Amino acid sequence: MAAGNRKRPRLDLGAVAGGQHKRGRNMFGILVGTLNKAKIEEKEKSASEAAKKRQLLEQRLQAKLRKETDSVRRAEEAKKDKVNANRKEEELQLKDSIHKLRRTRYPLLANFLCTTDQIPMDGSEPPPMNPLSNPPRSHPPPIYYLPAVLTPAQEAFLNRRKAEVKEAAEKEWEAFREERQKGIEEINELRRRVAEEEARQKAQKETENDVEMNTDETPKEAAAANGDSQPAPAEPSPEKPAENGSAAQEDAGMDVDDSASPEKVDAAKDDKQPAEQEKEKEPERKEEPAPMQADDVDAVEY
């Protein structure tokens, strides 16, 4: 009965909710602190020497890439300018030859009558037309001719056409001269740009070659500064010891032969004894025992 009458304790939901809220705040504070710490470490890392060197290297690479891109673009533009200059020059030469021919040919043809000419017989003016235009095509084709005796209408027609053709030819030539001058200036400008680009590329290549040569010579200069290129010690001459030895032997021989001074003879003998002992030892090392010679009776073949 006592166990049955016991009541289940009620949970304090407010305390539980407050504990969870406090735990969440603690976790959030830890997370914010970790993030701030990582941010500080990232700033310190970016401010370090390695990051500065890396950033400097990236800037150099980007500058080099931009320089190469600009160089390639300028080379392509110079190539296009060169092609355009050649094409414009060819077109200008063709037009010049055409206009020179028209300037000389049309005044000559104006001295003749053509089968397609409409000459008014009553003295009125012919219909307006371009004096430098070719005669219309017809069948049979137009023919230029000049009668032996001209009528007044034909003579007036020829005089009028000569003046018109000459004036029109000169106007056309003057207009072409202005066009030719502008074309020549444009061609010269294109050629100048191409020459500047070629000179710039040549100077850039020379600069790069100088830099490479300086880079190659730097290790050699450093080695020379460190003393790597010191002269090797001179080897002793093999002839001098022999000469000295022979001179010593001669001096020793002269001392031995000198019988007037016994002290010198004794000293020479003392100096000579070690040399004679060495000479005596050397044959002992080299000599081998000679084989025993057997008698003819006791000889045995081995």
Strands (E), 55-214: 113-114, 144-145
- Enter the tokens of residue 90: 């060819």
If we measure between CA atoms, which residue out of 103, 115, 102, 167 comes closest to residue 146?
Answer: 115
Digit-coded pLDDT (tens) for 83-122 = 999 999 999 999 999 999 999 999 999 999 998 888 887 7
pLDDT the model gives residue 86: 94
Q: Burial code of 258-269, b = ≥16 C-beta within 10 A, e = fewer? A: eeeeeeeeeebe
Residue pair 79/199 in contact by the 8 Å Cβ criterion: no
Helices (H) and strands (E) in the chain, counts: 6, 2
pLDDT the model gives residue 256: 40
If we measure between CA atoms, which residue out of 157, 149, 155 comes closest to residue 120?
Answer: 157
pLDDT the model gives residue 143: 92
pLDDT the model gives residue 204: 84
Strand partners, 145: 113
pLDDT at 21 over 90: no
Q: For residues 124 and 130, what is the distance between their CA atoms, to the nearest angstrom? A: 18
Q: Burial code of 48-87, b = ≥16 C-beta within 10 A, e = fewer? A: eeeeeeeeeeeeeeeeeeeeeeeeeeeeeebeebbeebee
DSSP string, 254-301: HHHH-TT-HHHHHHHHHHHHHHHHHHHHHHHHH--PPPPPPPTTT---
The ranges assigned to domains in the chain are 86-115+154-213
The sign of the CA dihedral 167, 169, 172, 177 is negative
Place of tokens 């002290």: 263
Q: What is the mean pLDDT of the chain?
A: 74
Residue pair 198/100 in contact by the 8 Å Cβ criterion: no
Q: For residues 78 and 198, what is the distance between their CA atoms, to the nearest angstrom? A: 8
pLDDT the model gives residue 265: 44
What is the rounded average pLDDT of the residues 30-40?
A: 90
Digit-coded pLDDT (tens) for 221-263 = 555 555 544 444 445 444 444 444 444 444 444 444 444 444 5
